[in-house]
């Protein structure tokens, strides 16, 4: 059964990503107040953490429901291939076309320089670009560098099907919290304290981001246990309280523009717990807040096209930005926001077309394979 509120949550996740890669990057030196307001959006980068929690919940739930299926592995990986690979293969072509446009002078020649020091092509084919980025963090600035988070998910899903298939839900529940959720937090702190570029490494590596994915799987386990499900539905106020407790320090970090590096990665743990709380609020009932926010039609529509939007947004925003640069004598506030809105608008338009005519038919074809 499709839970509409999860589409709204996915819409919030991609909205945060769009803010991070557009508004958060604007620097208006002549507008200090506006610049301070923009600075409060620094934690919009956590949109990927919400994606991780959602993904862990949805994929973990699918695997839990099908754990005894004779077609368990075959169906899972074929369906994931239909969903992930086709558009993932097309976006590098768009990046290359934009790069060629820069070399031909159609848009700013900055595009040529943006590919300097790019990651090796085989990293994107093997979903290991996040490992490369852990040692060369500037590579993420490229338009296709955002796929590091996709690599994290795919690496997690190499092991999760095995874990769910051969471990009982009860044992998995007991093992998940200490081994993945707590383990990821400890590993982050150790790497930040010991490695020269530890703060960059923990951002990109799967083991140090596994707590958000693990919290999603944990939520999937909890809602499938009858006694826990009943308790959660009867005590939803506790979920709101938990969300508020985890949100408060995150809000302080954002409003005071604090450096996340100095916190030894604890903000990742707080984000995983906060987003897991929101997810459980969304799936345990439809009160006024859930209907107003998570079931908002605009957010749900945005959630449906989130994958295509995520893959294409940096490319299209940057292309619009560089294409219009010759028309403006200086990087004014009007120019900055105009290019951002046009780039985001173009991204959403193309993502909607991609979902309707390309991705959706492929997803349906993938569902011809049954568990």
pLDDT higher than threshold 70 for residue 371:
yes
What pTM, to 2 d.p., does this model score?
A: 0.91
Residue 58 covered by a domain:
yes
Q: Report how far apart, in Å, the C-alpha atoms of 267 and of each of 46, 87, 173 are.
A: 10, 32, 24
User: For the residues 92-121, what does the mean pLDDT come to?
Assistant: 60
Q: Is residue 371 part of a domain?
A: no
- Span 221-234, average pLDDT: 95
Q: SS3 for 75?
A: helix
Task: Give the residue with greater pLDDT, 239 vs 331.
Answer: 239
Domain of residue 77: give its range. Answer: 4-366
Query: Residue 116 — very low, low, confident or very high, per pLDDT cuts 50/70/90?
Result: very low
Q: Report pLDDT for 93.
A: 76
- Determine the average pLDDT of the residues in 51-74: 96
- Domain presence at residue 156: yes
pLDDT at 104: 56
Mean pLDDT of 20-24: 79
171-203 burial, b at 16+ Cβ within 10 Å, e below that, comes to ebbeebeeebbebbbebbbebbeeeeebbbbbb
In this prediction, residues 34-61 reach a mean pLDDT of 86
* Pairwise CA distance, residues 189 & 259, whole Å: 15
Dump pLDDT digits (tens) for 135-191. 775 655 567 788 999 999 999 999 999 999 999 888 888 877 778 888 898 999 899
Q: In terms of pLDDT, which residue wins out, 283 or 334?
A: 283
The pLDDT mean for the chain works out to 85
151/239 Cα distance (integer angstroms): 31
The residue among 333 and 157 whose pLDDT is bigger is 157
Question: Hey, how many other C-beta atoms are within 10 angstroms of the C-beta on 258?
Answer: 15
CA dist 89 → 68, 92, 96, 127, 259 (Å): 32, 6, 12, 12, 35
Q: What is the pLDDT of residue 111?
A: 47
Q: What is the pLDDT of residue 201?
A: 86
State yes or no: pLDDT of 301 exceeds 90. yes
Q: Are 240 and 288 in contact (CB under 8 A)?
A: no
Q: How confident is the model at residue 295, as a pLDDT?
A: 95
pLDDT at 264: 60
Among 17-26, 254-263, 284-293, 316-325, the range of highest mean pLDDT: 284-293
Domain count, the chain: 1
196 within some domain: yes
Residue 207 has a pLDDT of 94
């Amino acid at each position: 059964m499709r839970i509409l509120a999860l589409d709204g949550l996915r819409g919030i996740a991609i909205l945060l990503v769009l803010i991070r890669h557009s508004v958060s990057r604007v620097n208006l030196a002549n507008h200090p107040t506006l610049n301070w307001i923009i600075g409060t959006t620094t934690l919009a980068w956590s949109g990927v953490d919400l994606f991780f929690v959602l993904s862990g919940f949805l994929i973990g739930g699918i695997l839990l429901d099908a754990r005894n299926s004779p077609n368990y592995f075959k169906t899972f990986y074929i369906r994931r291939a239909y969903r992930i690979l086709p558009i993932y293969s097309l976006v590098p072509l768009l990046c290359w076309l934009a790069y060629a446009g820069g070399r031909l002078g159609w848009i700013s020649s900055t595009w040529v320089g943006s590919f300097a020091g790019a990651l090796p092509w085989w990293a994107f084919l093997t979903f290991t670009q996040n490992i490369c980025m852990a040692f060369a963090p500037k590579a993420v600035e490229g338009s296709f560098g955002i796929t590091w988070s996709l690599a994290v998910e795919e690496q997690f899903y190499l092991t999760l099907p095995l874990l769910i298939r051969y471990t009982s839900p009860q044992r998995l529940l007991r093992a998940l919290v200490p081994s993945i959720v707590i383990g990821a937090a400890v590993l982050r702190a150790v790497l930040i304290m010991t490695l020269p570029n530890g703060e960059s490494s923990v951002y990109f590596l799967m083991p140090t981001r596994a707590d958000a994915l693990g919290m999603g799987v944990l939520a999937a386990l909890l809602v499938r246990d009858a006694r826990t499900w009943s308790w959660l539905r009867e005590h939803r106020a506790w979920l709101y309280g938990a969300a508020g407790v985890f949100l408060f320090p995150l809000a302080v970090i954002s409003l005071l523009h604090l450096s996340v590096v100095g916190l030894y990665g604890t903000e990742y743990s707080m984000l995983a717990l906060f987003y897991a709380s929101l997810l459980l609020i969304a799936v345990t009932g439809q009160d006024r807040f859930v209907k107003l926010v998570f079931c908002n039609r605009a957010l749900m529509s945005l959630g449906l096209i989130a994958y295509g939007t995520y893959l294409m947004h940096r490319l299209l925003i940057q292309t619009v930005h560089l294409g219009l640069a010759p028309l403006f004598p200086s990087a004014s506030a009007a120019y900055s926001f105009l290019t951002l809105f046009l780039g985001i608008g173009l991204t959403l338009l193309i993502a909607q077309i991609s979902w309707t005519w390309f991705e959706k038919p492929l997803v349906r074809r993938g569902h011809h394979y049954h568990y």
